[in-house]
């Protein structure tokens, strides 16, 4: 499943263009599933460029400073135009260290906006998920789970984690929140993450993740291996004729040496970024495949321990 962002696409290239090409699937020539995030996280990262009222969000484009206004209803309408398979309601996402009363207000606002989103949502070919906010406060997360699940959605996302809090605090919040979510609906941890976080998330009952981590890392030369991350730019790889990961059977590892990819990065050759991206995505897809197999075979704990021991060995 590809993830796209409603906020980004609304600003550039704009809805008219995507509508006229027949929707996001056709625009990107991608016939697999697409999930669009509402852009709540991106909006609330704009800092002083944003003004929130109960009705919606007023914001300035980060591209050209133009003024915009988005309500929970607009956000659904935008995502209906984009035509993704799973869509997300507008939520109020605060920094993890926000004032507790502000966090509480954001939970209530996210609840009110979720009701309006569900009312506005009429396209039955798209699944609208609910989003649980509440920072790292477990009582607030409980309140958010209760209110959002009371509306009823086909899947539930946990937002507002992996936004700068410590790993321990994230895991504690995640553990407590996931336990409260319905057992029979997919649970989606937004904006996560690294191989370690994916494994921990699955151990806690998460089904779905999204993150720029594997591809952004790849473009910076950081590559996943069974034994942890390496940076392909390092001098030691200049003369290493092994593949990135001798245990990996991706196209890149079957075809190219560390020395070649190191050379591409040193020469700023675009192929380097592409090879690195393909390898990292393959690594993540195999990891998730292995986690699914381990769940089916009831060996999840052993598999996870083995993986983490190896991955964190360096």
* Active centre residues (catalytic): 37, 210
CA distances, 34 to each of 105, 114, 164 (Å) = 31, 21, 27
| Segment 69 to 128, residues that bind a copy of itself, using CB under 8 A | none
Binding mask 142-181 for a copy of itself (x = CB under 8 A): ----------------------------------------
CB 5 within 8 A of CB 39: yes
Residue from 241, 268, 298, 309 touching a copy of itself (CB under 8 A): that is: 241
- 32: which DSSP letter? S
- C-beta closer to a copy of itself: residue 101 or 270: 270
Select the residue interacting with a copy of itself from 1, 167, 169, 239 (CB under 8 A).
Answer: 239
Contact status: 64 vs a copy of itself (CB under 8 A): no
Q: Which is nearer to a copy of itself, 17 or 167 (CB)?
A: 17
In the bound state with a copy of itself, the residue whose beta carbon lies nearer, of 69 and 251, is 251
**Helical residues (DSSP H) of 47-189, grouped into ranges:** 72-82, 100-120, 138-151, 167-180
7, 44, 153, 256: which one binds a copy of itself (CB under 8 A): 256
Q: Quick one: which segment of 20-28, 123-131, 161-169, 299-307 binds a copy of itself (CB under 8 A)?
A: 20-28
Q: Please, is 57 exposed, middle or buried when counting C-beta atoms within 10 Å of its C-beta (0-12, 13-18, 19+)?
A: buried
Distance CA 141, CA 178 (A): 10
CA 37 – CA 3 distance, rounded (Å): 7
DSSP class of 92: -
For the chain, report the end-to-end CA distance as a whole number of angstroms. 32
Q: Which of 29, 66, 67, 122 binds a copy of itself (CB under 8 A)?
A: 29
User: Of 80, 85, 93, 70, whose CA–CA distance to 34 is shortest?
Assistant: 85
Residues 73, 79: Cα–Cα separation, whole Å: 10
**Among positions 17, 167, 285, 295, the unique one binding a copy of itself when judged by CB under 8 A:** 17
# chain residues binding a copy of itself, by CB under 8 A: 25
Which of these segments, 35-43, 125-133, 234-242, 304-312, binds a copy of itself (CB under 8 A)?
Answer: 234-242
Closer to a copy of itself by Cβ: residue 247 or 267: 267
Minimum separation from the CB atom of position 191 to a copy of itself (A): 20
Q: Which stretch binds a copy of itself (CB under 8 A): 25-33, 73-81, 199-207, 223-231?
A: 25-33
**Are the C-beta atoms of 284 and 198 separated by less than 8 Å?**
yes
Residues between 257 and 286 with contacts to a copy of itself, criterion CB under 8 A:
257, 259-260, 262-263, 266-267, 270, 273-274
Should residue 20 be labelled a site residue for a copy of itself when binding is judged by CB under 8 A? yes
- Calculate the alpha carbon distances from 136 to 31, 75, 140 in Å: 37, 26, 8
Is the Cα torsion angle 8, 120, 150, 94 positive or negative in sign?
positive
Nearer to a copy of itself, 63 or 101 (CB): 63
Which residue from 161, 150, 153, 98 is spatially nearest to 130, judged by alpha carbons? 153
Residues 203-232 that bind a copy of itself (CB under 8 A): 219
CB nearer to a copy of itself: pick between 61 and 112: 61
* Residue 117, both tokens: 């989103």
Q: Which residues bind a copy of itself (CB under 8 A)?
A: 12-13, 16-17, 20-21, 27-29, 219, 238-239, 241, 255-257, 259-260, 262-263, 266-267, 270, 273-274
């Amino acid at each position: 499943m590809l993830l796209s962002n409603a906020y980004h696409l609304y600003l550039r290239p704009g809805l008219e263009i995507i509508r006229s090409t027949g929707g996001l699937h056709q625009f990107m020539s991608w016939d697999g599933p697409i999930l669009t995030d509402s852009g709540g996280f991106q909006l609330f990262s704009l800092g002083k460029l944003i003004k929130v009222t109960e009705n919606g969000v007023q914001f300035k484009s980060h591209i050209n400073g133009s003024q915009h206004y988005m309500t929970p209803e607009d956000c659904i309408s935008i995502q209906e135009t984009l035509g993704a398979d799973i869509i997300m309601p507008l939520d109020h996402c605060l920094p993890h260290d926000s004032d507790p009363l502000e966090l509480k207000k954001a939970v209530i606002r996210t609840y009110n906006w979720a009701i309006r989103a569900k009312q506005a949502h009429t396209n039955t070919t798209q699944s609208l998920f609910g989003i649980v906010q509440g920072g790292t406060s477990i009582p607030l997360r409980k309140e958010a789970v209760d209110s959002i699940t009371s509306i009823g959605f086909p899947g539930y996302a946990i937002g507002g984690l992996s936004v700068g809090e410590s790993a321990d605090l994230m895991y504690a919040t995640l553990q407590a929140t996931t336990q409260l979510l319905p057992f029979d609906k997919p649970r989606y941890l937004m904006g996560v993450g690294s191989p370690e976080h994916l494994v921990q998330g699955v151990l806690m009952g998460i089904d779905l993740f999204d993150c720029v981590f594997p591809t952004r890392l790849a473009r910076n030369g950081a590559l996943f291996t069974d034994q942890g991350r390496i940076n392909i730019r390092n001098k030691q790889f200049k003369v290493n004729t092994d593949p990135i990961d001798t245990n990996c059977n991706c196209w890149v590892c079957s075809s190219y040496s560390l020395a070649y990819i190191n050379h591409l990065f040193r020469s700023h050759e675009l192929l380097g970024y592409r090879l690195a991206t393909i390898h990292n995505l393959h690594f993540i897809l195999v990891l998730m495949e292995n986690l699914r197999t381990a769940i089916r075979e009831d060996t999840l704990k052993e598999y996870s321990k083995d993986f983490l021991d190896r991955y964190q060995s360096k």
